[in-house]
Structure 1
Amino acid sequence: MFRPRAARVVTGSLAVVVALATALLIVLLATTGVEGWSTADLSGIALVGLAIVGFLWRQATVSATPTAEGLRVRNLASTRTVAWGEIVWVRFGEGRPWVQLDLDDGDTLAVMGVQRSDGDRARREAKRLATLVAARQRSGRGD
């Protein structure tokens, strides 16, 4: 499995901070006796906090998982499985924030599971992914 390290630590920590801050804010607003904060207002604050925590959780769980059929890529907004034979090239050139797959239909797919913010580890993971793709493509063609 390919998962970013730095992004998980940062977003996981932020999710905890946001959850605690939201809970503290709701408790303080509900108990200070300040008028004007209805149950609907406090519920709205809770929903916004929950939405932020959900977004951070999704970011913390981006990954790429090799399976027998292909590579399952879970990014921030979507999850997609691409067959090994569909992957033409694995790119991780300078300036790219994460690995990019070139697909045989001319499309590209970002793999946020390998992020430049992880430095040397990210470069090793990109090479490992490229090697895995090459090996799976050879075995899929009967080489």
Structure 2
Amino acid sequence: MPGPGDGGTTPDGAPSGRALDDVFRPRAARWVTVVLAALVAVATVLLLVLLPGTGLVGLGVGDRLGIGLLGAAIVWFCWRQATVSATPTPEGLRVRNLATTRTVPWAQIVWVRFGEGRPWVQLDLDDGDTLAVMGVQRADGELAQREARRLATLVASRTRTARDD
């Protein structure tokens, strides 16, 4: 009998290509930002090596430092974008977005949304707040739809109580 992760089905009957508690990561955004980071790193090094040195028309140490810092900042930003994810843990869902990382206990997640017009999954929390989950992005097309269903199934299985019908 197939189980989660081997092409079977999830508890709600939805097809699964991954284990229910695998990490959620975007595909398209990760590849684009990794390639962009590599290009920026190479371009920064080339600029620093090939631009003329100090002199009347050359770049000074401050200019070179600025170029290097700007290149490093862009590469860091791309790295941060490439590493967005949502990681299921026994305690809750650890959501790593572009600027923040937050662990939400399973009991606090009320609903998983991924309606039309949303660029990524959104969690409705029991305090009325919402949390974007950039680890599942609409740019991934059908994969994103499957991952959103998998996340909703995971949340339902982790928040089930004896009182649930």
Do both share a fold (TM > 0.5)?
A: yes
Output the CA distance in 2 between the equivalents of 1:21 and 1:34: 24
Offset at residue 36 of structure 1 (A): 3.3
SS in 2 for 1:77: coil
User: For residues 35-114 of structure 1, what are the structure 2 equivalents within 5 Å?
Assistant: 35-114=57-136
Identity %: 72
Give ranges in structure 1 of 5+ residues lacking alignment.
none
Output the CA distance in 2 between the equivalents of 1:35 and 1:27: 16
What's the TM-score once normalised by structure 2's chain length? 0.82
Offset at residue 14 of structure 1 (A): 0.1
Give ranges in structure 2 of 5+ residues lacking alignment.
1-22
Aligned twin of 1:132: 154
Instruction: Calculate the aligned-residue CA RMSD, in Å.
Output: 1.6
Output the CA distance in 1 between the equivalents of 2:162 and 2:97: 31
SS in 1 for 2:51: helix
1:120 aligns with 2:120: no
Offset from partner CA, 1:50-78 (integer Å, 9 cap, x none): 00000000000000000000000000010
Say how many residue pairs are matched.
Answer: 141
1:26 aligns with 2:51: no
Offset from partner CA, 1:13-53 (integer Å, 9 cap, x none): 00000000010011111469773311111011000000000
Output the CA distance in 1 between the equivalents of 2:106 and 2:140: 25
Output the CA distance in 2 between the equivalents of 1:118 and 1:49: 28
Larger proportion of helix: 1
Offset from partner CA, 1:82-118 (integer Å, 9 cap, x none): 0000000000000000000000000000000000000
1:2 aligns with 2:19: no
